[in-house]
Structure 1
């Protein structure tokens, strides 16, 4: 069944009409959607907040992921940010445009005491004014002879012209030429917030930021607020990550890794191998509803509660998976999957977690979902639309034409009786006044033909279809409507040929 909804299950009914929230200029492609106080989205080369372009992004990302961290929107894999309070867009990697030709590595002081080779000196530069802070983990690049060096250290003190580190940080580098100064974050593919840290992964390595500061990594002072990283020995690479039950959780295609503990000194990896993880291209399929994590694996849609994941997508058939891409969204009860097959064919399906039933909608190609203003929104190509049942205001949005519904053909036969003669169908359904129903019948796999109106009699919610046909082994009925309808039942009347009595 297509364009269907589980709202009236066990009775089939059409899904709600979708509303178009925003249409982008022709030739523009959406690569992600999110929400904070306002709706925001990314195109192939830009970030837009409340419909206003705030910054430019590299045009090489087909899919983007967002993390809301306090006043910031963090954008991956670009490693860009938007400050919603300061209305400022920038790169998370901070590398100020400084003239380093006069920079020197030298001895200085620390906490009022003499300290050997701990100071980066650059005359008349106020490092704090340009964006550095005490406690930042920074990267100092220099050239020592013909050798290029990259040193990571934590800023301990700053004054005008001086940035001070631990004693001995630059030992033996008196004559080195400083070529770069930056505060960097790892090149994480997937990132998320868990507690008061930004966690992320790339390849098979996991990273965590300094507590409370998603811009600060590479700080290892032995404190509970430190950053943290860990290299796993998994053969595969990470395909997704999320916070689940207060623990950072990462997925490979055939493994699940959970970070246990509450501080870097106590962080431990709990690795479960040989289980279906998140399929490549399906990082955005991970969604939590009622303490259950749902995601798309190579074998189908999985439900995960912390033990072995369980496949729940058997009703969708065996030929739908694996998929090349999936974006998922949730409206509190239903888990929506925007699937795309390797051949490019798209399909939007929904799983009702309360009624445990799947429905198929249509070939809407979705790149991202977000709940906003009581509605579940989907970004698809050059427009943003509602999905599911609207629960928030939609008065200013444009509604689509009521979706056409089509029920998968229903076959009627008696295997124990052989050939039979179809006499009539009695179909009980309810629909809006403007809905026009059409009925198609075929025998033994022949091309379906529409039942003419002269053979249809309606009595309230009941349609009686009188049939005229020869003896056959199988009769197929297809229903089609141009508006909302709910099907309550179908009855089939047949006769046995005289030569079989």
Structure 2
């Protein structure tokens, strides 16, 4: 007779006294973690959560009174910079060291802030503020030219002047409105509104238009309108007879159809002055009036509308030409402002793919020359839009998604451009670039790379799929690279080579100021590392937060079944800190125990798991806890019965 039995187990003890960071690869070490939240490498090789943060400033609000009614207006946080004193853009206002700078009005939208000596340059508005003298204003000078433009021409149409105007609607949208009653023969569109619609002929579907008119007067006529930057015509409508004794008609169930052209929608701004961009189309708002661009001009405003004949509609305009190039990305090196542009350029009717630098010491002058201090520009053959630029090691690096280009030299006579790598900067991730100890860190399409002047090297394999995020915003301080990948904050310690995951935050900007690292989180300014400066009078310390870390699958090195038991953790915690330890056998329900702290010591978790193939350990808690070592016992048993 044969009796099946299991051999007695072999018991071994595993001790982990050095803890790594997050590692999402298929096989990881005992001291690494498959997932974590709010952990840090500050105490390495110990395991510890991050330090508490401080909300330096909540979203700025403003109270406005209209007809004795008070309303609270929330301002958008559009940019922060701490290079030459802490500055922030709230809505259309610029703040320096916590004080609003009067007379410097901006367009409400995301900004690129660059320090040039004592000046803070504000893009895309192309304005500046001098932190020493307090001077501020526009970087560019402008030339105004007047003229006129024929908008529509046609045959046999009637024009209703009372319905054509430049005005502002109830929501503050500046728009051009033109209503036309036009003949059935169609019409030509010759519009400065839409650069791709020159000399285009349209023959809309016929219908009977009898809006408050007799049938004989308006038979077979169609209506056209231009408003909110769109040019439309009625493609269908129902004609209804109203009244008795005479044929009077009106239109119901009107369907407006937009013409297939590049139209521009007016931004919601009134009484403001500044510049916006809609793709490659520049738009200017001055005192509530909408400027729409023609190629070769910064902007053109239609200041009046009238019909000069029975078959044409004419608008007069003013053009404002800029003396500065439009720049997609900017940086500063050797007392020059550097930038790049891909697409339509101000003052040009052709697309450009160029690199620029300003005159030595003057960010307002870009007129090229042959002297050593002159401005300089050059065309580039590499295809694709620019994704960013940064100064590194006395040279300027310009990026496309699959190219890295380097400009070297000291003056226009010896400036040289070289393509040095095929690992570019991912589009939309220009804010991921940071320089730490002379090494550039940036987000490429397939991960985070470093570049020290030789060849780019990927360092983010341990992040798994997270390294292929679509968005990346980064900051750095004390040898650490903080990067928000699709809203999740990861930290790379350049000294230990470890990655740690903190939490999910909608971080839009980073900056350093006064030995601390700040971030724009949603619409608040948060001090992530260090203490908030005294300019933030209403700073709020962070409360208690949850931290956790979960190991990878333990026991995969052995194919036998196992029992896990008797977990020992040597740890210390501050007053009020707590910790929960969970054993998770084969992905089933966890077996947990809670612990509190009263100083330093070792806690014992006398657990015995069911027989399993592998196990995970998860540790979570609140407060300042440090874990010095962790150990557990493994009893290995055989799944194969023996015969006797």
Q: TM-score range by the shorter chain?
A: 0.7 to 0.9
Offset of residue 235 of structure 1: 1.0
CA distance in 2, matches of 1:375, 1:57: 27
Name the structure 2 match of 1:50. Answer: 97
1:64 aligned partner? 111
Query: 8 Å contact 2:460–2:467 — kept in the other structure?
Result: no
Does structure 1 residue 355 correspond to structure 2 residue 496?
yes
Are 2:518 and 1:370 aligned?
Answer: no
In structure 1, the residue matched to 2:427 is 280
Per the alignment, residue 402 of structure 1 pairs with 544
Contact 2:515–2:530 under 8 Å retained in 1: no
What SS class does the counterpart of residue 503 from structure 2 fall into?
coil
Which one scores higher on RCO, CA 8 angstroms, separation ≥ 6? 2
Query: C-alpha deviations, 1:419-464, integer Å up to 9, x for none?
Result: 22232211122221220111222221113243267xx999942111
**Cα drift, residue 281 of structure 1:** 0.8
Deviation at 1:338, TM superposition (A): 1.9
Distance 1:461 1:209, change over 3 A: same
Equivalence map 1:73-222=2 (5 Å): 73-95=120-142, 184-203=323-342, 204-220=353-369, 222=370
1:325 to 442, 463, 471: 471
Other-structure match for 2:457: 310
How far apart, CA to CA, are the structure 1 residues paired with 2:480 and 2:467?
A: 20
1:224 to 351, 372, 396: 372
Cα distance in 2 for residues equivalent to 1:370 and 1:420: 50
- Aligned mates of 1:457, 1:71 — CA distance in 2: 51
Q: Secondary structure at the match of 1:492?
A: strand
Task: Tell me, in whole angstroms, the C-alpha distance in 1 between the residues paired with 2:504 and 2:512.
Answer: 21
Q: 1:205 to 1:468 in 2, by over 3 A?
A: same
Question: 1:407 & 1:34 partners in 2: Cα distance?
Answer: 33
- Determine the C-alpha separation between the residues in 1 that align with 2:362 and 2:113: 16
CA contact 1:294–1:302 (8 Å) conserved in 2: yes
C-alpha distance in 1 between matches for 2:505 and 2:631: 33
Is 2:392 the counterpart of 1:252?
no
Distance change >3 Å, CA 36–CA 353, structure 1 → 2: closer
**Normalising by the residue count of structure 1, what TM-score does the alignment of the two structures yield?**
0.76
Residue of structure 1 aligned with 2:58, choices 18, 23, 41: 23
Judge which range, 34-43 or 350-359, deviates more: 34-43
2:605 corresponding residue in structure 1: 465
How many aligned residue pairs are there?
415
Residue by residue over 1:216-266, the C-alpha shift from the partner in whole angstroms, topping out at 9 and shown as x without a partner, is 11242x211111111101112211101111112111111111112111121
The separation in 2 between residues aligned to 1:465 and 1:270, in whole angstroms, is: 61
8 Å contact from structure 2 (residues 586, 615) kept in 1: yes
Quick check: 330-339 or 413-422, which moved more?
413-422
SS of match in other structure, 1:272: strand
Cα pair distance change 1:457/1:322, threshold 3 Å? closer
Any idea what SS the aligned residue of 1:38 has? Answer: coil
Aligned pair 1:34/2:182, yes or no? Answer: no
* CA contact 1:276–1:299 (8 Å) conserved in 2: no
- State the match for 2:529 in structure 1: 388
CA displacement 1:369-399 (0-9 Å, x = unmatched): 1111111111111111112344977996321
After superposition, the Cα gap between the structure-2 partners of 1:457 and 1:87, relative to the gap in structure 1 and judged at 3 Å, is: closer
C-alpha distance in structure 1 between counterparts of 2:296 and 2:594, whole Å: 80
Instruction: Determine the C-alpha separation between the residues in 2 that align with 1:229 and 1:395.
Output: 42
Contact 2:128 2:137 in 1 (8 A): yes
Structure with max Cα Rg:
2
- Normalising by structure 2, what TM-score? 0.60
Compare 31-40 and 256-265 and name the one that shifted more: 31-40
Change (3 A) 1:449 1:416: closer
Deviation at 1:98, TM superposition (A): 10
Instruction: Point out the more displaced range, 255-264 or 432-441.
Output: 432-441
Aligned equivalents of 1:219, 1:459: Cα separation in 2: 68
* Inter-CA distance 393–9: structure 2 relative to 1 (3 Å threshold): farther
Q: Which residue of 2 aligns with 1:442?
A: 584
Q: In the alignment, which residue of structure 1 is the partner of 2:43?
A: 8
Structure 1 contact 379–385 (Cα < 8 Å) conserved: yes
The answer to whether the Cα contact below 8 Å between 1:457 and 1:464 also exists between their aligned partners in 2 is no
Q: Which residue in the other structure is 2:520 paired with?
A: 379
Is the Cα–Cα contact under 8 Å of residues 207 and 230 in structure 1 kept in the other structure?
yes
Which residue matches 2:302? none
Conserved? CA contact 1:41–1:49, under 8 Å: yes
> Is this contact kept in 2: 1:76–1:189, CA < 8 A?
no
Paired with 1:47 and 1:425, the residues of 2 have a C-alpha distance of 56
Preserved contact between residue 516 and residue 531 of structure 2 (Cα < 8 Å): yes
Q: 1:16 to 1:394 in 2, by over 3 A?
A: farther
Change in 2 beyond 3 A, CA 1:393/1:14: farther
The yes-or-no answer on 1:431 pairing with 2:573 is yes
